[in-house]
Amino acid sequence: MSTLAGKPVEKLTEHEAARELERLAEEIAAHDRAYYQEDRPKISDAEYDALRKRNAAIEARFPRLIRPDSPSHRVGARPSEKFAKVVHAVPMLSLDNAFDDQDVTDFVGRVRRFLGWGDDKPLVFVAEPKIDGLSASLRYENGLFVQGATRGDGTEGEDITANLRTIKDVPLRLAGKAPKIMEVRGEVYMTHANFAALNKRQEKEGKQTYANPRNSAAGSVRQLDPAITAARALNFFAYAWGEASALPADTQWGMLQQFKAWGFQVNPLIRRCETVQAVLKFYREIESRRAGLGYDIDGVVYKVDRLDLQERLGFVSRSPRWAIAHKFPAEQAETVLLKIDIQVGRTGKLTPVARLKPVNVGGVVVENATLHNEDEIARLDAREGDTVIIQRAGDVIPQVVRVIREKRPRSAKPYEMPRKCPICGSHAVREVDEKTGEEEVDRRCTGGLICAAQAVERLKHFVGRDAFDIEGLGGTYIETLYDAGLLKEPSDIFALTRKQAELDRVLREKRAEQSAERRAREGKAAPGSKAKRKDEGESKLIENLITSINNRREIALDRFINALGIRHVGETNARLLARNFHTIGEFMAAMEGKDALEQLNAIGGIGDVVAEAIKDFFDEPHNRKVLAHLLKEVDVRPMAAPKVSGSPVAGKTVVFTGTLEKMTRQEAKARAESLGAKTAGSVSKKTDLVVAGPGAGSKLAEAQKLGVKVIDEATWLKMIEGL
Ligand code: IVH
């Protein structure tokens, strides 16, 4: 560091002042980069402010020396918060995928069956390119753009209004007549030309470059400084909508035309298709034009055109029944498999990972690929030293597709999966399924609680984005704190907030160890004065960490359940459980009761395997203990029943039986569930209502025996009319 840095401003000569301003401009810009773009501040706010203050003081003394790139031109400094959260009035969902023609044919068949439509009834689809960017929701009130948000987790996104305003494809005012409230949704993306220009600029300015246009669009839209977003030329295609006080059309096609009339860009390649053959023809045409479009697409989307049919079809968990994404095949490349490593996951699963000679696959450098399990390695006959074909598609982990046998070195030996966990040394076994008597494909470490890898992975899952979402507590911290004995189970994370001194010591030691290693590597001497300044930065980090842990002492029930890491219970099943039991108390009471399995099996969407896994989790005393410890530290917010104001069936258990005339049974059940009812396949004393059509047999009899209320389809429809 320059010795000028410590010299009082009033003692600087003009020449020294110029040098100091140059240094400060550079240093502050570097910290801005670390803070804004890498989300990784290197110094404390106070230190940062001191740099800016010194810069301002020198400029005040020597106004002639103010540089064109002076940090003082950038107003606003650091915003105290990141983006505000926006709750989506209508969730932003994703699409189910089709990978081949058969999947598409099946999709169309499913739609027809759900609607109870024969093969001859005309059914129109709108086919659209699937833009590979990031989705955004733009809210217009009385025709004016008032708020824009990212998709986030689908329920809650980030407020990026200021950034979206800088995109020229986003009209600030809708042309012509517009409903009072209209949320237009679509994709923010970056063209190939703008992507190349941006990366060239970044490189010239010594800044980080982006791997592909999608990351670059995402990075640009999430800039805290809208001026940066503005400089990065983004585009927007409109293709969907959220909350709307009125809809200007009754088809998808009509909506897209209206979007254009309002001033949006709608993809010019969209087409109406009336048959499976027509949608598949569209797919092939778009695929052949893909390289020349000037922006990335990763498939095409088919949507049922009529909105009334879309409404009837509704949703299955996170995706609409009325649409599907037909993905383009993954991109492939050839490289060398250098080594096979084993990773141990949170459930003890041993996953072989291929370490590869770095290779560019469709714009992304790939160095690792999954080999899934030993059966897969055997099937591929993959060996260290082999030349392999790998592929990647979207955000999924790259895979090894096949081995090029002709290029195999003579010395290459068949791979043997270890029989012991590489982390804890416990036996690693393939369990035998009790029912089928077959060996499971995965080999698992039997170390359970003593296996550090499992414990660490569970903790990582616990703090992850879809679970407790604890900012600043990344994988490396967890490993360090686990090794130091400060973290064993989830409740220990919250206990950290009372162990500031220990936390401080452990992280300091770790850092000292790291820099000693680095110095040894680089052959440098011991640290000088810089160390103290860095230490202060560290205290700030610890303070921030404690704040973000404390911020998560209250959590929604579905996130809480997901965080527990119960086998087979991810985001979707956690949500189903939360919706069903509403509070953590009810959930635990039910799981510790005698009819736990019955209760789980009654939940639509929870199958046998999942139900067993949940029951097993609660049968294990250790898990109950961990849970009890955790509940001393956090409050779990109850999950409200789905939005069903005025619904007479909310919370009720309904059974449909016999033939329904106006809709299929599947549709009737879906509709009932959307109104907050639970549906069941059989009648018991917990059933509140039976809807019986002609031909109802034993279920009707059972209902009559138990005195459960029975109504016919017409009465049912009347009951839910207008909801
Ligand atoms: S429709 C309820 N149409 O694909 C359905 N999505 O995999 C809303 N996407 O999150 C989505 N192009 O980000 C739709 N023409 C298109 C699309 C499209 C790209 C993205 C979108 C969505 C994702 C689902």
Measure 328 CA to ligand 1 centroid, in angstroms. 15
Predicted confidence at residue 537, as pLDDT, reads 66
Q: What CA–CA distances, in Å, run from 565 to 36, 558, 573?
A: 32, 12, 11
Predicted confidence at residue 38, as pLDDT, reads 58
pLDDT at residue 228 tops 90: no
Predicted confidence at residue 133, as pLDDT, reads 93
Convert the pLDDT of each residue in 3-34 to its tens digit: 788 888 989 998 999 999 999 988 887 877 66
Using the atom order of ligand 1, give the atom closest to the CA of residue 93: 2
Measure 401 CA to ligand 1 centroid, in angstroms. 28
Q: What distance in Å separates the CA atoms of residue 386 and residue 401, rounded to the nearest whole number?
A: 12
- Strand ranges (E), 114-264: 125-131, 134-141, 144-150, 156-158, 181-189, 235-244
Predicted confidence at residue 394, as pLDDT, reads 62
Q: What distance in Å separates the CA atoms of residue 217 and residue 671, rounded to the nearest whole number?
A: 38
Mean pLDDT of 236-255: 97
Using the atom order of ligand 1, give the atom closest to the CA of residue 267: 15
pLDDT at residue 597 tops 60: yes
Measure 215 CA to ligand 1 centroid, in angstroms. 17
Q: What distance in Å separates the CA atoms of residue 367 and residue 71, rounded to the nearest whole number?
A: 38
Nearest CA to ligand 1 atom 21: 135
**Catalytic-residue membership of 130:** yes
Mean pLDDT of 40-65: 81
Rg (CA), the chain: 29
Q: Which of 130, 184, 302 to mutate to test the pocket of ligand 1 (most atoms within 8 A of CB)?
A: 130
Mean pLDDT of 461-490: 89
CB atoms within 10 A of CB 515: 15
pLDDT at residue 37 tops 60: no
Q: What are phi and psi of 98, to 5 degrees?
A: -120, 135
pLDDT at residue 2 tops 70: no
- Across 121-125, 178-182, 326-330, 415-419, least confident range: 326-330
Using the atom order of ligand 1, give the atom closest to the CA of residue 97: 7
Q: Is 286 in the pocket of ligand 1 (CB under 6 A)?
A: no
Q: What CA–CA distances, in Å, run from 155 to 150, 152, 610, 693?
A: 10, 7, 25, 37
- Residue 527's pLDDT band (cuts 50, 70, 90): low
- Residue 514's pLDDT band (cuts 50, 70, 90): confident
Predicted confidence at residue 21, as pLDDT, reads 92
Residue 386 contacts by C-beta under 8 Å, 6 or more apart in sequence? 336, 337, 403, 404, 407, 408, 409, 412
Nearest CA to ligand 1 atom 22: 94
Output DSSP code: residue 347. T
Q: Is 298 in the pocket of ligand 1 (CB under 6 A)?
A: no
Measure 258 CA to ligand 1 centroid, in angstroms. 18
SS percent in the chain: helix, strand, coil, step 5: 45, 20, 35
Convert the pLDDT of each residue in 86-95 to its tens digit: 999 999 989 9
- Residue 73's pLDDT band (cuts 50, 70, 90): low
Mean pLDDT of 245-264: 97
Our separate counts of H helices and E strands in the chain read: 25, 26
Check: CB of residue 409 under 8 Å from CB of residue 423.
no
Using the atom order of ligand 1, give the atom closest to the CA of residue 94: 24
If you average pLDDT over every residue of the chain, what do you get? 88
Nearest to 60 by CA among 122, 10, 131: 10
Largest distance between two CA atoms of the chain: 99
Q: Which of 239, 279, 321 to mutate to test the pocket of ligand 1 (most atoms within 8 A of CB)?
A: 239
Convert the pLDDT of each residue in 362-392 to its tens digit: 667 789 999 999 999 999 999 999 999 999 8
Long-range contacts made by residues 213-218, C-beta under 8 angstroms, separation at least 24? 213/132, 213/133, 213/189, 213/295, 213/296, 214/132, 214/133, 214/134, 214/189, 214/190, 214/296, 216/190, 217/133, 217/134, 217/188, 217/189, 217/190, 218/133, 218/134
Measure 97 CA to ligand 1 centroid, in angstroms. 11
Q: Is 237 in the pocket of ligand 1 (CB under 6 A)?
A: no
Q: What distance in Å separates the CA atoms of residue 65 and residue 387, rounded to the nearest whole number?
A: 59
Convert the pLDDT of each residue in 107-159 to its tens digit: 999 999 999 999 999 999 999 999 999 999 999 999 999 999 999 888 888 99
The pTM for the full model equals 0.55
pLDDT at residue 75 tops 80: no
pLDDT at residue 275 tops 80: yes
Nearest CA to ligand 1 atom 2: 93
- Percent of residues, the chain, with pLDDT higher than 70: 93
Using the atom order of ligand 1, give the atom closest to the CA of residue 134: 13
pLDDT at residue 483 tops 50: yes
Measure 39 CA to ligand 1 centroid, in angstroms. 28
Domains of the chain: 9-67 (1.10.287.610), 97-327 (3.30.470.30), 332-429 (2.40.50.140), 452-552 (1.10.150.20), 555-637 (1.10.150.20), 653-720 (3.40.50.10190)
Q: Is 325 in the pocket of ligand 1 (CB under 6 A)?
A: yes
Predicted confidence at residue 77, as pLDDT, reads 35
Q: What distance in Å separates the CA atoms of residue 352 and residue 336, rounded to the nearest whole number?
A: 16
pLDDT at residue 206 tops 80: no
Convert the pLDDT of each residue in 646-662 to its tens digit: 778 887 889 998 888 88
Measure 130 CA to ligand 1 centroid, in angstroms. 6
Predicted confidence at residue 74, as pLDDT, reads 59
pLDDT at residue 430 tops 50: yes
Q: What distance in Å separates the CA atoms of residue 521 and residue 215, rounded to the nearest whole number?
A: 33
Q: Is 187 in the pocket of ligand 1 (CB under 6 A)?
A: yes
Using the atom order of ligand 1, give the atom closest to the CA of residue 325: 7
Measure 323 CA to ligand 1 centroid, in angstroms. 9
Nearest to 156 by CA among 561, 465, 573: 465
Mean pLDDT of 353-359: 95
- Residue 81's pLDDT band (cuts 50, 70, 90): very low
Q: Terminus-to-terminus CA distance in the chain, angstroms?
A: 69
Query: Where is pLDDT greater, at 67 or 620?
Result: 620
- Residue 317's pLDDT band (cuts 50, 70, 90): confident
Which residue in 130, 327, 669, 699 is the catalytic one? Answer: 130
Q: Is 130 in the pocket of ligand 1 (CB under 6 A)?
A: yes
Task: Provide the H-helix boundaries in 419-499.
Answer: 452-463, 475-483, 490-495
